[in-house]
A and B are shown apart, each in its own frame.
Chain A
């Protein structure tokens, strides 16, 4: 099974901050990695797929990158609506999710 780790598990940030979340995979994913945003009581929302492709309708302040088995989600300027939990997901084999990163207000 492919394992995903995320860091940090929690971060506190202010509006306007640049935020970076890292997801590490236990093996090569051939870029089959997606990022989701989830707010309390809501279903997850797709942000990015194939590591760096922005889903239609998602603001351009969100971006994704990869370097080997390390993937990064960056929010260039945090907005009030971005406080949420973020999950990475691999779809190279049976899908699995990372443990999540909660972004909270500082």
Chain B
């Protein structure tokens, strides 16, 4: 059974940092391309970045709104994905999901999400 569990969300002030984690089990994590997707309250889904598997270089990609502020990393030995968020803005308030591409061009599996609130 696939399990993806995000943690680390909470309330922070503008300009502060936060690190989210995603613990994965049930598939071969090292082969998966892992993404972070967020959803602001009452809004749609927004892809913010991904970590490709090491077999294709292990590179990371970011969307324009978070590039330079957010960093995605992964620990294949412990099946963990991370999202380091710096210089947080009020517009970063959202539920953050980790999602996995495990073979098909699609986000096959998702975590339950963790809420990040940026407010003074």
Residues of chain A at the chain B interface (Cβ within 8 Å): 32, 34, 36, 38, 42-46, 49-50, 53, 55, 87, 89, 91, 94-100
Contacts and interface: CB of A to CB of B under 8 A. Distances in A.
B89 to A, nearest CB: 21
Interface stretch (B13-21, B80-88, B110-118): B110-118
B46 A97 contact: yes
Contact of B44 (A34, A46, A100): A100
Given A95-B47, A95-B107, 20 more contacts: A32-B105, A34-B107, A36-B45, A43-B110, A43-B111, A44-B107, A45-B110, A46-B108, A50-B106, A53-B104, A87-B45, A89-B45, A91-B105, A91-B106, A95-B35, A95-B50, A97-B37, A97-B45, A97-B46, A100-B45
B7 to A, nearest CB: 15
A55 to B, nearest CB: 8
Nearest to A95: B47
B75 interface: no
Given A94-B61, A94-B63, A46 B106 contact: yes
